[in-house]
A = this chain, B = another copy of it.
Amino acid sequence: MSKRPSSPGSGEDRLIARHFRPLARHPGAFALGDDAAALTPPPGCDLVLTTDGVIAGVHVFPDDPADAIARRALRVNLSDLAAKGAKPAGFLLAIALPANIGDDWLAAFARGLGADADRYDCPLLGGDTDRTPGPLSVSITAFGTLPTGTMVRRSGARPGDVLVVSGTIGDAALGLKLRQNPGTGRRLAEDARSHLLARYLLPEPRTGLAETLRVHASAALDVSDGLAGDLAKLCRASGVSAQVDVEKVPLSDAARALLSTEPALLERALTGGDDYEILAAIPAGKIESFRAGAAAAGMTVTAIGRVEAGDGAPQFTGPDKRPLAFDRPSFSHF
């Protein structure tokens, strides 16, 4: 539309060559010198496809570090792949850059992206770079592989299944709260504060859990919109209900420290989102084998409740054995 003239070897070509080509070492990326990428799936495998984006001012703060924005954008997609039982195979990057983004920012962004592409063995395969009059937008499409027909769905949970979560719940939502309201947690020790802020800025996709989930889970998803809301989604998709024992929900020491002084934040921890932990339903007979698989992968998993028959909303039961009522069971941008 409002195109600007350029000579062959345009600014876009130079930007890609300088910042992104060094990341594109996969043979199917063709060094970002073609119109498309090629991926040869292993025989007998499905491709698992997911796309998730971050927009400055919506999903990240505009002044978050460039490398963290890049890593977050990739990691939220890797979290989806892990929850579905898929092994990362590569990703495409679509980035829209406002005019105030300069070369240093892009260099840091590419450095963060490359570090995580290596760390999670998920190479950059291609992409699309544009200018935008709006905020920075980073949209990643990630590909994973798994044996045909074995993707872990949301919809397979059955009454009697054990509900498990990876890692700890609520850190990111509490970290966001600390960032938004500097008055929160004034008596919190500095290392606890840093832990929560870091958990918000940079999720840890549970890639190592993918294989054992694929073998054992009857249903799974990653917790991005809050444990309560995402459990409700899993239950609706599976046509079941669930019971969660709040005392069993794994909390970090930092979260416990904050909740001990501000207990009303428990709801925020259980509903606030951005955990990027995995919530799964595991048949009771497979739970020990699942635990062993998780332990072998160096992953912490915790049983928090059970899938039950029925179509009511999942119940979270507190220490007094009475169900909690949440004011805001889940978060949405809409």
List the interface of chain A (C-beta within 8 A of B).
Answer: 1-15, 28, 30, 33-41, 43, 46-53, 55, 57-61, 80-81, 83-84, 86, 92, 94, 96, 125-135, 137, 139, 141, 143-144, 148-149, 151, 153-155, 176, 221-222, 225, 229, 232-233, 236-237, 273, 313, 327-334
Docked Cα-Cα span, A36 to B52, in Å, equals 10
**A46-B38, A134-B137, A135-B133 are contacts. A8–B236 as well, Cβ < 8 Å?**
yes
- Is the CB–CB distance between B35 and A222 below 8 Å? yes
Chain B residues contacting A329 (CB-CB under 8 Å) are 7-8
Known A-B contacts: A5-B330, A51-B128, A55-B132. Give 8 more (CB < 8 A): A5-B327, A8-B236, A8-B330, A35-B83, A35-B221, A52-B128, A53-B94, A134-B134
Q: What residue in chain B is nearest A59 (Cβ atoms)?
A: B1
Chain B residues contacting A137 (CB-CB under 8 Å) are 96, 132, 134, 137
Chain B residues contacting A155 (CB-CB under 8 Å) are 30, 33-34
Docked Cα-Cα span, A47 to B233, in Å, equals 31
Docked Cα-Cα span, A60 to B139, in Å, equals 19
Nearest-CB distance from A46 to chain B (Å)?
A: 5
- Is the CB–CB distance between B51 and A46 below 8 Å? no
Nearest-CB distance from A103 to chain B (Å)?
A: 12
Nearest-CB distance from A275 to chain B (Å)?
A: 13
- Copies of this chain present in the complex amount to 2
Chain B residues contacting A41 (CB-CB under 8 Å) are 41, 46-47
**A37-B50, A38-B48 are contacts. A10–B80 as well, Cβ < 8 Å?**
no
**A38-B151, A58-B132, A81-B36 are contacts. A94–B51 as well, Cβ < 8 Å?**
yes
- Is the CB–CB distance between B53 and A128 below 8 Å? yes
- Is the CB–CB distance between B334 and A55 below 8 Å? no
Docked Cα-Cα span, A283 to B295, in Å, equals 58
Contact of A50 among B36, B43, B153, B333 (CB under 8 A): B36
- Is the CB–CB distance between A49 and B33 below 8 Å? no
**22 pairs of residues in contact across A and B, judged by CB atoms under 8 Å:** A1-B58, A1-B60, A1-B61, A4-B333, A5-B327, A5-B328, A8-B330, A9-B236, A11-B332, A12-B334, A14-B334, A34-B84, A36-B84, A38-B47, A38-B151, A41-B47, A49-B125, A51-B127, A53-B96, A53-B128, A130-B333, A131-B334
Docked Cα-Cα span, A312 to B191, in Å, equals 61
Nearest-CB distance from A52 to chain B (Å)?
A: 5
Docked Cα-Cα span, A129 to B43, in Å, equals 32
Chain B residues contacting A47 (CB-CB under 8 Å) are 38-41, 47, 143
Docked Cα-Cα span, A55 to B1, in Å, equals 10
- Is the CB–CB distance between B36 and A92 below 8 Å? no
- Is the CB–CB distance between B273 and A8 below 8 Å? no
4 tightest A-B CB contacts, nearest first: A134-B134, A11-B334, A10-B332, A5-B328
Docked Cα-Cα span, A218 to B96, in Å, equals 33
Q: What residue in chain B is nearest A7 (Cβ atoms)?
A: B329
Q: What residue in chain B is nearest A134 (Cβ atoms)?
A: B134
Chain B residues contacting A96 (CB-CB under 8 Å) are 53, 55, 137
- Is the CB–CB distance between A38 and B49 below 8 Å? yes
